[in-house]
Amino acid sequence: MIASVQVWLLFALWSPSGTVWWRASGFLFGVLCCLYAVAWLLLLKSIIDAGFALQTGLLGWRAVARHRAPIYPPMPVTGLFRLCRQPIYVAYALTLWTAPTITPDQLVVSLVLTAYCLVGPLFKEARFARQFGEPFARYQQNVPYWLPWPPRRAAVPFADNVFVGAKAIPTSGELQDALRAASPRLTPPPTPLTSILIHGSTALLWVLLFARAFVLNGLLAWSVGVVYVSYDTALLAFVFWQTFGLAKTTAKPRSAGAAPVTLGVIVAAHNEAALLPLTLAALFDQSEPPELIVITDDGSTDETAALLQRQFGLVEPPLGALSAASSTHPSLHWLRLSHQGKPSALNKAMQLVDTEMVLTVDADTLLEQNAISAMRNAFAADPKLVAATGILTPVCGPSLSGRWFQWFQTYEYIRNFLSRYAWMQVDSLLLISGAFAAFRRQAVVEVGGFDPACLVEDYELIHRLRRYSVLNHRGWTTSVVGASRALTDAPGSVGAFLRQRRRWFGGFLQTQYWYRDMVGNRAFSWLGLLMLPIKAADTLQPIYGLTAFALLLVYLVTGRFVLVNPVIGVIGLKILVDFAFHLWSIHLYRRWAAPLVRISFASGLLAALLEPFSFQILRHLGAAWGWGMFLTGVRQWGVQHRLGLGVAPSDMRAGTQD
Amino acid sequence: MFYGACCHGCFVAGVGAMMIMMFFGMSRSFGVLHAPWSYLANALLLAQFPLLHSMLLSRRGRAVLSRLAPHGLGGV
């Protein structure tokens, strides 16, 4: 009843602006009227599927009239709920966009309410997860969130959940129980009002700023761009401030009294026969080799098995078991699994390894000779350190597009690692690249290992470790180890790059949603009060960026140079700031991380000039696609074609420095 | 019965207003304010629906709701 009154207030008491942009006529009017009617019928159908009596309030008042307790309908899974989990919200959004009249009023109302239709059901789902438990988790796995397209296939490898996937590896009960207890995905806490307000205000601010484009003139019409540029500049200023002392930092040798830390390496591989010899050679060549190396073969169908037997002297173990040690390399073992995805494979290996530290290394990642030694030093020096990342340098391949992507990604990775250092300074580091990450094994087991339901299992695990640490007063920390370096294969084509960013951003949104109780939470100190609110803003950063760019294009195409000139002025200023930051970051990076590839100032400045109009747009497009992935719940991605390391020049693989 | 009539009356009024006003692109309504006050009033009207709706469906909100209807059924 209250919702009905609210709706009436909104629509009946609205003060129209008086501007009508467009009104359909003739045949088009008829078509739009039909679409509008169909949208309302879909809404009616979805309300019936959800339980008409419950949705309209009939259930409640009838129970009152009959003096009986209401009988609630079961969790809705039939009718339109077979196609997507939120058909009521989808149908309602359709009614917003099929009206035959377009006005600025309608646009603003449609944008705000569509945003609500996208985000609001997330809270409803958290309630359902508490109310219905495992059946709802299973329903979530099998039915997409919002858009019924593309249809979700059952038993998608990366969607497998250790609790619900029919083909899931039987990980130990201990790990499952720990994950269930520590994961807010499986045990969702209530969402604090602060978190709702922080996320909501980011969306509301975008709507208000975007609306200014239609009612204001001059630079203020591009408010969404001004705010976007200011936000990015503020982040750069923060990183500059926090990395100011980095130039004087040098790697600390292990102190004489520090106990040595045993270390095992897990290389999760699925059809990586072409690169495995290189990866293993880099591991065998370490200045302090690991005690154990486990090749976790995740159901490879290429030459991996033959390679491991022929070249590395391993005997094929039964499925799910660890092989005997290699006859040629005593530390090397082979764990053979059916294809379940990287997180499940890592979990299985994590349970079989008995070293204090575990290093996860992707099969397309080549470690520099002292990488493991530097990691051991970092863990030996700090008993509270539970996760650390090394410095990765991307390699994309020799093609023209490969070189283009490598150029931009090299500087992007530099900025990202400096940013991680900056956040580490305020004990808020969350991003540990799973391609090359070190963990204290006991801590990972204690929180339940990697979550197979997440698109970015490494990022999610760090959130879980940090949340668990605060809730259980462990004082755990995470770190970036500048002296530990590696080369990694990175996407070298537009398609591969967009797919990677889609997955990263989709996984980021998943994690941000699951861990929303930490956002704005004082118990998590800077992490809760600064880092996670910034991440909340980042959820809409691509939308801000793309909107700003689209508005600029519209101004250019329509010849509105009164608007274009001040906007170009702002962009010019931002490029100058980027120039300065690029120079600073390259200077620091050269000193701190002694990079594995040539890093030149001139090339960095050129990248700063071109990036806002090229690479950055692609990044935002990939991220916006990630929103789609998050909302539809699709969790499968295509095969990555390795273009970089397999064909990289040998001097690069050997680690030539500038 | 009175409670039921109120409940369904509000439902019909709310959905009906929404259906009609949206058909005309929000260009016809009972609001009479002019800019800049219309911006403020419209923003408040627009914000109240998602914010209050989400708040009332939270744990605390449902507890409040249940006290607003007979026999604790406000949350239904």
CB contacts of A190 in chain B (<8 Å) are 58-59
Please choose, from the candidates A263, A353, A333, A335, the residue with its C-alpha nearest in 3D space to the C-alpha of residue A296.
A335
The pLDDT, as a whole number, for residue A438 is 96
* Closest chain B CA to residue A114: B50
- Yes or no: say if A89 and A115 are a contact pair by the CB < 8 Å rule: no
- The residue type of A356 is E
CA distance A59 to A5: 18
CA A90 distance to own-chain centroid: 24
Please choose, from the candidates A169, A321, A335, A342, the residue with its C-alpha nearest in 3D space to the C-alpha of residue A264.
A335
Q: Is the pLDDT of residue A436 over 90?
A: yes
Q: Which A residues in the span 43-62 are in contact with B, Cβ-Cβ below 8 Å?
A: 54, 56-62
Position with higher pLDDT, A588 vs A422:
A422
Domain-terminating residue out of A322, A355, A388: A355
Q: Kindly state whether residues A191 and A113 are assigned to the same domain.
A: no
| Count of structural domains within chain A | 3
Please choose, from the candidates A15, A8, A20, A88, the residue with its C-alpha nearest in 3D space to the C-alpha of residue A55.
A88
CA distance A404 to A4: 55
pLDDT band (50, 70, 90) for residue B56: confident
**Is A201 near chain B, with CB under 8 Å?**
no
Q: How far is B68 from chain A (nearest CA, A)?
A: 10
Sign of CA dihedral A588, A601, A546, A149: negative
| Beta-strand relationship, A292-298 and A263-269 | parallel
Q: Mapping DSSP to helix (H, G, I), strand (E, B) and coil, where does residue A335 land?
A: strand
Find the mean pLDDT for residues A130-141: 80
Q: Kindly state whether residues A568 and A621 are assigned to the same domain.
A: yes
Contact: A116, B49; criterion CB under 8 Å: yes
- Yes or no: say if A350 and A178 are a contact pair by the CB < 8 Å rule: no
pLDDT > 90: percent of chain A: 47
Q: Is the pLDDT of residue A265 over 90?
A: yes
CA distance A57 to A59: 5
Q: Is the pLDDT of residue A561 over 90?
A: no
CB contacts of B8 in chain A (<8 Å) are 56-58
User: Quick check: is A435 in a domain?
Assistant: no
Dihedral pair phi/psi, residue B26, rounded to 5°: 60, 25
Neighbours of A66 (CB within 10 A): 9
CA dihedral A434→A435→A436→A440, nearest 10 degrees, is: 30
The pLDDT, as a whole number, for residue A152 is 53
Q: Which A residues in the span 295-324 are in contact with B, Cβ-Cβ below 8 Å?
A: none
Tokens of A186: 């499986």
**Is A40 near chain B, with CB under 8 Å?**
yes
Identify the residue whose tokens are 């009838």.
Answer: A62
CB contacts of A101 in chain B (<8 Å) are 23-25, 27
User: Quick check: is A27 in a domain?
Assistant: yes
Q: Kindly state whether residues A150 and A38 are assigned to the same domain.
A: yes
Q: Is the pLDDT of residue A597 over 80?
A: no
Q: What is the pLDDT of residues A93-124, one digit of tens each?
A: 999 999 888 888 888 899 888 888 888 888 88
Dihedral pair phi/psi, residue B41, rounded to 5°: -65, -45
Q: Is the pLDDT of residue A159 over 50?
A: no
Contact: B10, A109; criterion CB under 8 Å: no
**Which residue range is the domain that position A70 belongs to?**
18-119+131-161
Position with higher pLDDT, A182 vs A216:
A182
The pLDDT, as a whole number, for residue A508 is 95
**Is A10 near chain B, with CB under 8 Å?**
yes
Contact: A11, B58; criterion CB under 8 Å: no
The pLDDT, as a whole number, for residue B37 is 86
| Per-chain mean pLDDT for chain A | 85
Position with higher pLDDT, A165 vs A23:
A23
User: Quick check: is A436 in a domain?
Assistant: no
Q: How far is B15 from chain A (nearest CA, A)?
A: 7
The pLDDT, as a whole number, for residue A267 is 96
- Yes or no: say if A343 and A350 are a contact pair by the CB < 8 Å rule: no
Find the mean pLDDT for residues A338-353: 91
Of A14, A36, A101, which has the smallest distance from its Cβ to B42's Cβ?
A14
Interior/surface letters B43-73, b for 16+ CB within 10 angstroms, e for the rest: bebbeebbbebbebbbeebeeebeeebeeeb
CA distance A156 to A179: 21
Identify the residue whose tokens are 């299992």.
Answer: A457
Q: Is the pLDDT of residue A577 over 60?
A: yes
Q: Which stretch of A146-160, A479-493, A512-526, A589-603 has the lowest confidence by average pLDDT?
A: A146-160
CB contacts of A54 in chain B (<8 Å) are 76
Taking each helix axis as running N to C, give the angle between helix A561-593 and helix A223-242, from 0 to 180 degrees, rounded to the nearest 10. Answer: 20
- The residue type of B29 is S
Q: What is the pLDDT of residues A298-313, one digit of tens each?
A: 999 999 999 999 999 9
Tokens of A162: 């250790």
Q: Kindly state whether residues A325 and A374 are assigned to the same domain.
A: no
DSSP symbol at A220: G
CB contacts of A60 in chain B (<8 Å) are 7, 69, 73-74, 76
User: Quick check: is A6 in a domain?
Assistant: no
Q: What is the pLDDT of residues A496-524, one digit of tens each?
A: 999 999 999 999 999 999 999 999 999 99
pLDDT > 70: percent of chain A: 89
Contact: B45, A13; criterion CB under 8 Å: yes
Domain-terminating residue out of A329, A355, A381: A355
- Yes or no: say if A454 and A343 are a contact pair by the CB < 8 Å rule: yes
Q: Which B residues in the span 16-45 are in contact with A, Cβ-Cβ below 8 Å?
A: 17-35, 37-38, 41-43, 45
Of B19, B33, B73, which has the smallest distance from its Cβ to A15's Cβ?
B33
Sign of CA dihedral A338, A341, A342, A347: negative
Q: What is the pLDDT of residues A48-72, one digit of tens each?
A: 888 877 877 777 777 777 777 777 7
Q: Kindly state whether residues A149 and A192 are assigned to the same domain.
A: no
Contact: A58, B32; criterion CB under 8 Å: no
Q: How far is B30 from chain A (nearest CA, A)?
A: 5
* Closest chain B CA to residue A190: B59
Contact: B25, A193; criterion CB under 8 Å: no
User: Quick check: is A79 in a domain?
Assistant: yes
Dihedral pair phi/psi, residue A277, rounded to 5°: -60, -40
Mutate: best of A59, A94, A105, partner B, most B CBs <10 A: A105
Q: Kindly state whether residues A142 and A177 are assigned to the same domain.
A: no
Q: What is the pLDDT of residues A639-658, one digit of tens each?
A: 444 545 554 444 434 333 32
CB contacts of B49 in chain A (<8 Å) are 3, 6-7, 10, 113, 116
Please choose, from the candidates A76, A651, A175, A647, the residue with its C-alpha nearest in 3D space to the C-alpha of residue A448.
A175
Calculate ∠ Cα A118-A124-A126, nearest 5°. Answer: 110
Mutate: best of B8, B46, B67, partner A, most A CBs <10 A: B46
DSSP code per residue over chain B: -HHHHHHHHHHHHHHHHHHHHHHTTT-S-S----TTHHHHHHHHHHHHHHHHHHHHHSHHHHHHHHTTSGGG-TT-
Contact: B29, A100; criterion CB under 8 Å: no
* Closest chain A CA to residue B74: A60
- Yes or no: say if A345 and A296 are a contact pair by the CB < 8 Å rule: yes
Q: Is the pLDDT of residue A165 over 90?
A: no
Longest dimension (CA), chain B: 45
Contact: B23, A99; criterion CB under 8 Å: yes
Sign of CA dihedral A408, A414, A418, A421: positive
pLDDT band (50, 70, 90) for residue A587: confident
- Yes or no: say if A267 and A361 are a contact pair by the CB < 8 Å rule: yes
CA distance A469 to B20: 54
Contact: B46, A5; criterion CB under 8 Å: no
Q: What is the pLDDT of residues A534-553, one digit of tens each?
A: 999 999 999 999 999 999 99
List C-alpha distances in Å: A450 to A342, A446, A535, B36: 9, 11, 21, 53
Of B22, B45, B52, which has the smallest distance from its Cβ to A95's Cβ?
B22
Find the mean pLDDT for residues B31-45: 85
Q: Kindly state whether residues A456 and A597 are assigned to the same domain.
A: yes
Q: Kindly state whether residues A497 and A395 are assigned to the same domain.
A: yes
| Beta-strand relationship, A22-23 and A101-102 | antiparallel
DSSP code per residue over A566-602: HHHHHHHHHHHHHHHHHHHHHHHHHHHH--SS---HH
Mutate: best of B38, B49, B57, B68, partner A, most A CBs <10 A: B49
Position with higher pLDDT, A297 vs A20:
A297
**Is A2 near chain B, with CB under 8 Å?**
yes
CA distance A80 to A216: 42
CA distance A595 to A393: 8
CA distance A528 to A535: 10
Q: Kindly state whether residues A382 and A416 are assigned to the same domain.
A: yes
DSSP code per residue over A21-47: -EE--HHHHHHHHHHHHHHHHHHHHHH
Of A6, A106, A204, which has the smallest distance from its Cβ to B25's Cβ?
A106
Calculate ∠ Cα A267-A272-A276, nearest 5°. Answer: 60
Q: Kindly state whether residues A505 and A586 are assigned to the same domain.
A: yes
The pLDDT, as a whole number, for residue A525 is 92
Of B53, B57, B76, which has the smallest distance from its Cβ to A127's Cβ?
B57
Please choose, from the candidates A452, A454, A449, A444, the residue with its C-alpha nearest in 3D space to the C-alpha of residue A168.
A452
CB contacts of A9 in chain B (<8 Å) are 45, 48
The pLDDT, as a whole number, for residue A134 is 77
Q: What is the pLDDT of residues A194-245, one digit of tens each?
A: 998 999 899 889 888 888 887 777 788 899 999 999 999 999 999 999 988 7
Q: For the whole model, what pTM was predicted?
A: 0.71
CA distance A441 to A449: 9
Its ipTM equals 0.87
Contacts of A247 (CB under 8 A, 6+ apart): A587, A588, A591, A592
Query: Per DSSP, what are the bridge partners of residue A486?
Result: A367, A392
**Is A97 near chain B, with CB under 8 Å?**
no
Whether residue B50 has a cis bond before it, omega within 30° of 0 = no
Q: Mapping DSSP to helix (H, G, I), strand (E, B) and coil, where does residue A337 land?
A: strand
CA distance B65 to B76: 9
* Closest chain A CA to residue B36: A17
Q: Kindly state whether residues A90 and A179 are assigned to the same domain.
A: no
Q: Kindly state whether residues A556 and A604 are assigned to the same domain.
A: yes
As a whole number of Å, the CA-based R_g of chain B is 16
